[in-house]
Amino acid sequence: MISIIPLVEIDPALVEQLLDAAFGKDRHERTAYKVREGMNILEGLSVAAVDSAENELLGSLQCWPVALTDEQGKMHPMIMVGPVAVHPDCQGEGVGKAMLGAMLKELQEGESLPLVMIGDPAYYDRFFDFSPARTRGWTLPGPWEPDRLLVRAHETAKLPKKGKLGPWVRPASP
């Protein structure tokens, strides 16, 4: 029996173990970590999947405050989704879909900040409308595969064509 609960209710050490199991211990070198460096998770949107009968952590999904800085230096706030991790022993059993569904339910459809992530479009585009089509002119603080830089935003949302993604911090004063 899968339950989706706030991630803050889980011991952080267990979450780290799960992320190591899903992504490997070298995961901290990934560009996604640099994009949200120094930020704290958005607690209201970050969830865990647990097997309440077995008292086991099955999955975790974290969200972060990030921003796309356009060519004029203006920051456009966004929500970075990820890592999304499902324990290797229970992948393909609906845990990922349950966590993404719970997170999206917290957001006002059409009124949310854009959601951005680095992930597999074969999963995130197919099931959740995250697409690389509008991120082609964006850059990141490290290497990335353009087809895996995905955004989910209302079609009328004005997204800068060019910009650099990074932590959502107060711009340095001139």
Ligand X SMILES: CC(C)(COP(=O)(O)OP(=O)(O)OC[C@H]1O[C@@H](n2cnc3c(N)ncnc32)[C@H](O)[C@@H]1OP(=O)(O)O)[C@@H](O)C(=O)NCCC(=O)NCCS
3-state secondary structure of 151: strand
Strands (E), 99-141: 115-118, 138-139
Rule CB under 6 A: which of 96-155 touch ligand X? 96-97, 119-120, 122-123
Q: Does 95 bind ligand X (CB under 6 A)?
A: yes
Residue 101 token pair: 């569904």
CB atoms under 10 Å from CB of 145, counted, come to 10
Which member of 63, 86, 149, 165 binds ligand X (CB under 6 A)?
A: 86
Task: Give the span between the Cα atoms of 74 and 162, in whole angstroms.
Answer: 11
In the complex, least distance from residue 27 CB atom to ligand X, rounded to whole angstroms? 10
Residue 1 vs 122, nearer CB to ligand X: 122
Rule CB under 6 A: which of 24-63 touch ligand X? none
Which member of 94, 110, 137, 142 binds ligand X (CB under 6 A)?
A: 94
SS (H, E, C) 11-79: CHHHHHHHHHHHHCHHHHHCHHHHHCCCCCCCCCCCEEEEECCCCEEEEEEEEEEEEEECCCCCEEEEE
In the complex, least distance from residue 86 CB atom to ligand X, rounded to whole angstroms? 4
Span of 6-14, 78-86, 138-146, 162-170 interacting with ligand X by CB under 6 A: 78-86
Residue 20 vs 106, nearer CB to ligand X: 20
Q: Which residues bind ligand X (CB under 6 A)?
A: 22-23, 82, 84-86, 91-97, 119-120, 122-123
